[in-house]
Structure 1
Amino acid sequence: MRLNRRSLLRSMALAGASAALPAAALGQEGESIWDMFARNRVLRDADQGGNSVAAEALIATNEPILSFDTAYNLQLAISQYEPFVAAGGWEEVPQEAYGLLLGHSKQAVIQLKRRLISSGDMPMVENVNDLFDADTDRGVRTFQARHGLVLNGQVDEATWYAMNVPAQTRLNQLYLNAQRVQTMAANLSPRYVVVNIPAATIEAVNDGMVEQRHTAVVGRVERATPIMASKISQINFNPYWHVPKSLVRQDLTKYMMENPNYLTEQNIFIYDGAGNKVDPQSINWANITDTEVGYMYRQEPGAANSMGHCKINFYNPYDCYLHDTPTKALFGENARFHSSGCVRVDGVNQLVNWLLRDNGDWDQQKVDMTFESLQRLDVECQGRVPIHTTYITAWANRQGTVSFRDDVYKFDEQGKVTFEETAA
């Protein structure tokens, strides 16, 4: 929702009156007033790319999610959501709206438009008709941007479900996250990195401004990324990947039973306690022993390495870290909860350059060349930048855009306001 008092008051009036007004007052039933020529013109004239750019501009501000500014903006959002929710909130979007996109002309477009108007994603109009026009396309993309969804302008599954989250639930998120941000903001230094788990994003912050923002992949529900506060200590360029013991038992055994050549294909070698190589075929993968699980399983540097070109280390007892990845396609998904707890970073070379700013002899060209060389190199971070992994499912910026994310780990459902951080 955009925090504009005039549009909000109009939305409140719409929400409270929509159930009582006849359909003709809010939209056309039956045959649309638009003929085929008008629909074709909508398709021809709509600037879908421009609509995406405009939607992204609403959220791509330089304000950190974790800051006192956000705490203040959340209070403003609460003050405007409360009367809106009291007036009835927004109505549900019917299942018939699923799949709607630019140029469609259906009765469900009317309910879709009313939903977008109620949340401020689309401007108020005098007559809500049944044509999915350019304004509706922009409204859907704005909604998608605020909810961290792919900006495709279509009422896809993720968009439809997000639209049908009740306004009361969103208000509850604002209450919880206002307290979370206020509590955590007090412990921030001028320069820090934030991993916001529900948004699967990373912000590199300096002097109250976001200097870099990165898409991330974080831990799935059963292997959640932990809440932590630490300091980034080292960059491992073109690292080996040592497979954690938990993954040896949970994953490697399954992969090896499905494909006996899996380790060879992935360039993973096994070493016993004396440093001797172990033949994978000598292990009974269906009944692996504790001793065999305890062997070192090491993946060599290269294109298939699970760490990609780098690993970003910081102290924590969970063996959790930030890293590159060879599977870039995951960054384009709506729900990026695929890892075993560690955090994969899109555009990680830029973040590495930012972290090595205090080392003096590093720049973007040197970082990129080191990546490409496949040279094994460990570099201590002189800056020791603090890092926080957090859980923020709702926030707002100064231009009045309120963003929401799914409660993936059910911390909102539990009413959690504070977390036991593991500090360095």
Structure 2
Amino acid sequence: MEVYFTYILNLKTEKYFLKQKNVFFKLFTFTFLICLLFSFALMSCGKNKAANKGILPDTSIYSNQNFSEKILDSTILADFYLQYHTEDSLQTQITEFYKRRNYQYAWFDKNGITEACHIFYNQLQNFSSDFDDQSINTKLIDSLINIAHKEDKNTILPESETHKIEFLLTSNFFQYAEKSFGGIAKNTYDLEWFIPRKKKNFQSLLDSIISTSNNSNLQYPVNQYYKTLTIELRNYKAIEKSGGFPGITTLKKQISVGESDSCLVNLKRYLLITGDLKTKDTTMIFDENLKTAIISFQNRFGLTESGILNKATLNELNTPIKERIQQIMINLERLRWLPEEMEPNFLMVNIPEFKLHIFENGKPISESKVVVGKMATKTSIFKGQLSTVVLNPYWGLPNSIVINEVLPKIKSNVSYLSRNNIEVFSKNSIIDPRTVNWSQYKTQVPYNFRQKPGKNNSLGKIKFLFPNNYNIYLHDTPSKSLFTETNRSFSHGCIRVENPKNLAEYILRNDTQWNIEHIEKILKTDIEKRITVKPTIPVYLLYLTSWVNHRGKLNFRKDIYLHDKKLASEIFAKEK
């Protein structure tokens, strides 16, 4: 019996300990799961914080010491949006702005309205005056500022009125910034401008305005070309306000040094206003000073620099100043679409100028003439990366040239192909063109055509590739005489370069294998050689008919593709 009870006791004890062990294991498991879940929660919280960085206060502007002691009630924003029918995109901008500053007031502090308000108001007035844009109600802003200034007279504004002024100023700022620095809302691809527009950060701009008391220290989200052309817009509007340019009429076809004419009095007044003539002269005599002034004017307008008052020069002189102001405004719109900062080293072709510019360390170091596409085969506006230089290139003829130009000639005489070193391919095999009945083809030809390298190759001896969807590149040409023309829109879309050897030497200057001697050695042959460019070089193909050059001179050019006309209908929509 004693043994039995001992057995029973031991069994119960064992069961007890097993039970306790089981309870302990469950407690341990439960505790472990709780800790694990807590860890995940912390990690998730961290991720959420990382994801919400976009609405955290900007520590470079908003430190632990608040910018303003006045704090807004965030719930009031919803009422404001409802009352003023605020668009969703604008709501997003405003909400993000106030979240980032922990709902501190932007335009008020404990002393009343801040200097930031006056900086913004001056910007708005300048924009409205410069661009004749009344779409943003400056009178409303003016009245808001006047109401806010009542605080200076010991009149405490109701909190509801302060909220209204605060939010209206902020919403008007974002509307103004979009118009002033972002440009029109229309997709620029519809305007044949294929350089992507970069989204600009107006939050940062407003942060800067609010945190500074000096307008001159502000960095606006526009490039240097925009800033200099804006100054010229103001100059031209001041000239218009004072009566405009004097008219210049004469019965003579042209006037040159030594001659006299009554029209020269007004001509000298005109050129003195534009800065082309350096000293005042009220005589009717055409002297050397006037010749120099006319050459300066002709240079700025892309005319033949003859120093003679001729028909082409008179036409530019007598263009109404209103049209010039609109031309400047059109190009300011285009400049809004460009990056705030260009790369330090790049190539730039301005199509209406017929010029290629090389920029190094942000400064132009050389320029040369180019031939661009004619109206029917316009050169596209885009940005590429120059990656390859080809010496002694083959030329693969585009189908449009084959159908419109080559096919009629080979129908007349098939020897046209051999005389011009053109090969015909069927798939990957060269065929004898004399075995083909060319008369059967009209709009399509089932063959490929290629011109062999040589001095008469249509691409000349060098081409520069920057891969793109428009099949456009820079290249040499055997037709050198076209570079003497003033209007050089003759190509099928590609860009012919006046000095391709100099350009190749510059592009390959850091490649020790390709000095000018080696380049010239290869060019003496007809063997194609492809050279990879590392690093690639940005190439901008732009369309500007008005700009300020690096010498500070205001330039104008003809609207050769009528792009200005199309953009004007968008900018000056109020005239519709």
Fold match, TM over 0.5? yes
Match of 1:414, SS state, is helix
1:317 and 1:212, CA in 2 relative to 1: closer, same or farther beyond 3 A?
same
Amino acid at match of 2:277: M
Q: Work out which of the residue numbers 309, 317, 336 in structure 1 matches 2:469.
A: 317
Match of 2:323, SS state, is helix
8 Å Cα contact 1:263-1:280 kept in structure 2: no
Counterpart in the other structure of 1:62:
none
Q: Does 1:199 align with 2:347?
A: no
Q: Distance in 1 between matches of 2:539 and 2:420?
A: 31
Amino acid at match of 1:214: S
- Mapping for residues 81-160 of structure 1, pairs under 5 Å: 81-94=236-249, 96-129=251-284, 131-160=285-314
Amino acid at match of 1:89: G
5+ long unaligned stretches in structure 1:
1-66, 419-424
8 Å Cα contact 1:272-1:278 kept in structure 2: no
Q: Work out which of the residue numbers 533, 537, 543 in structure 2 matches 1:391.
A: 543
Counterpart in the other structure of 1:38:
none
Q: Does 1:371 align with 2:526?
A: no
- Mapping for residues 210-359 of structure 1, pairs under 5 Å: 210-256=364-410, 261-279=415-433, 282-284=436-438, 288-290=441-443, 292=445, 294-359=446-511
Q: Distance in 1 between matches of 2:337 and 2:513?
A: 37
Range with bigger deviation, 212-221 or 104-113? 104-113
Q: Distance in 2 between matches of 1:372 and 1:93?
A: 54
Amino acid at match of 1:117: L
Deviations 1:97-140 (A, max 9, x none): 532222333344444334333432223434231x3221121111
Q: Does 1:167 align with 2:331?
A: no
8 Å Cα contact 1:98-1:160 kept in structure 2: no
Deviation, structure 1 residue 280: 5.4
Q: Distance in 2 between matches of 1:417 and 1:352?
A: 41
TM-score after normalising by structure 2: 0.56
Q: Distance in 2 between matches of 1:370 and 1:92?
A: 57
Q: Distance in 2 between matches of 1:321 and 1:258?
A: 31
Amino acid at match of 1:305: N
Match of 1:415, SS state, is helix
Counterpart in the other structure of 1:412:
564
Q: Work out which of the residue numbers 397, 402, 417 in structure 1 matches 2:554.
A: 402
CA RMSD for the aligned pairs? Answer: 2.5
Q: Distance in 1 between matches of 2:410 and 2:323?
A: 45
1:264 and 1:108, CA in 2 relative to 1: closer, same or farther beyond 3 A?
farther
Q: Distance in 1 between matches of 2:233 and 2:551?
A: 15
Deviation, structure 1 residue 173: 2.0
Q: Distance in 1 between matches of 2:259 and 2:471?
A: 50
Q: Distance in 1 between matches of 2:287 and 2:436?
A: 64
- Mapping for residues 28-47 of structure 1, pairs under 5 Å: none
8 Å Cα contact 2:472-2:494 kept in structure 1: yes
Deviation, structure 1 residue 297: 1.3
Match of 1:383, SS state, is strand
TM-score after normalising by structure 1: 0.75
Amino acid at match of 2:441: I
Deviation, structure 1 residue 157: 4.1
Q: Distance in 2 between matches of 1:417 and 1:400?
A: 29
Match of 2:364, SS state, is strand
Q: Which has the larger radius of gyration?
A: 2
Deviation, structure 1 residue 214: 1.6
8 Å Cα contact 1:176-1:417 kept in structure 2: no
8 Å Cα contact 1:96-1:108 kept in structure 2: no
Deviations 1:31-76 (A, max 9, x none): xxxxxxxxxxxxxxxxxxxxxxxxxxxxxxxxxxxx9332221122
Q: Does 1:176 align with 2:314?
A: no
5+ long unaligned stretches in structure 2:
1-221, 571-576
1:416 and 1:314, CA in 2 relative to 1: closer, same or farther beyond 3 A?
farther
Q: Distance in 2 between matches of 1:258 and 1:105?
A: 57
Deviations 1:236-263 (A, max 9, x none): 1111111100111122234446766433
Counterpart in the other structure of 1:74:
229
Query: How many residues in Structure 1 have an aligned counterpart in Structure 2?
Result: 349
Q: Does 1:190 align with 2:327?
A: no
Deviation, structure 1 residue 274: 4.8
Counterpart in the other structure of 2:12:
none
Deviation, structure 1 residue 374: 3.3
Amino acid at match of 2:374: R
Amino acid at match of 2:238: P
Please state which structure has a larger fraction of its residues in helix. 2
1:299 and 1:399, CA in 2 relative to 1: closer, same or farther beyond 3 A?
closer
1:219 and 1:187, CA in 2 relative to 1: closer, same or farther beyond 3 A?
farther
Q: Distance in 2 between matches of 1:168 and 1:124?
A: 26
8 Å Cα contact 1:97-1:155 kept in structure 2: no
Amino acid at match of 1:166: P
Q: Work out which of the residue numbers 526, 529, 534 in structure 2 matches 1:382.
A: 534
Match of 2:230, SS state, is helix
8 Å Cα contact 2:372-2:489 kept in structure 1: yes
1:338 and 1:85, CA in 2 relative to 1: closer, same or farther beyond 3 A?
same
Q: Distance in 1 between matches of 2:545 and 2:569?
A: 11
8 Å Cα contact 1:97-1:112 kept in structure 2: no
1:391 and 1:291, CA in 2 relative to 1: closer, same or farther beyond 3 A?
closer
Q: Distance in 1 between matches of 2:473 and 2:336?
A: 26
Q: Distance in 2 between matches of 1:282 and 1:398?
A: 56
Deviation, structure 1 residue 222: 1.2
Amino acid at match of 2:479: T
1:270 and 1:155, CA in 2 relative to 1: closer, same or farther beyond 3 A?
farther
Match of 1:132, SS state, is coil
8 Å Cα contact 2:300-2:554 kept in structure 1: yes
Range with bigger deviation, 87-96 or 191-200? 87-96
Deviation, structure 1 residue 394: 1.1
1:106 and 1:382, CA in 2 relative to 1: closer, same or farther beyond 3 A?
same
- Mapping for residues 53-64 of structure 1, pairs under 5 Å: none
Q: Distance in 2 between matches of 1:362 and 1:327?
A: 26
1:319 and 1:280, CA in 2 relative to 1: closer, same or farther beyond 3 A?
farther
Deviation, structure 1 residue 95: 5.5
1:296 and 1:187, CA in 2 relative to 1: closer, same or farther beyond 3 A?
farther
Match of 1:215, SS state, is strand
